Amino acid sequence: MIQRSLAPNSTYALPSITTTSAAGAPFVVKVAAGPVKLAGPVKLSAAVTSLVADSRAFFGLSVGTSPLDAKVVQNNTMPLRLPTAVTGAARSVELPAVAVDVPAGKTLYLTVSPVADMYAGQNSRVPGTIRLDTVRLTLHRDT
């Protein structure tokens, strides 16, 4: 089957997310249970609050049987950096485009981390806590 369009066609409302302020475990949120196929760009939008300037978080899609064994797809993450403190500010992050087939028995997750190894130069400061409310994830899902 040829995919003619990768325009987003599915939106998932996710619970509020609060990142850790230190190099702790990533926060993993369930998006959809397999089987599910998706391809193309993924957009995360949320009302963002951070009381500390230069806060940041890294976002990626992951797949696993549970949050404990979920692996980020293609090691692709995208940062959100907040140069100033904000309260309830509308922000969006376009995650790296991916193509992934989540089989039955596995789950698609959104992984949020205060640090990411592929952005080593941005890990020099202790990250501040970021809270995301009214979280929406928009992507192209094959039906």
With cut-offs at 50, 70 and 90, classify the pLDDT of residue 6.
confident
Asked if 137 and 14 count as a contact pair (C-beta separation under 8 A), the reply is yes
With cut-offs at 50, 70 and 90, classify the pLDDT of residue 26.
confident
DSSP H/E element including 50: strand 36-50
Q: Which tokens in the block code for residue 66?
A: 């549970």
With cut-offs at 50, 70 and 90, classify the pLDDT of residue 63.
very high
Confidence (pTM): 0.88
Res 111: pLDDT: 94
Please determine, for residue 119, whether its predicted confidence score (pLDDT) is greater than 60. no
Rounded to whole angstroms, what are the CA distances from 32 to 65, 102, 107, 131, 137?
12, 9, 6, 22, 11
Map out the domains of the chain with their CATH numbers: 17-134 (2.60.120.260)
Please determine, for residue 118, whether its predicted confidence score (pLDDT) is greater than 90. no
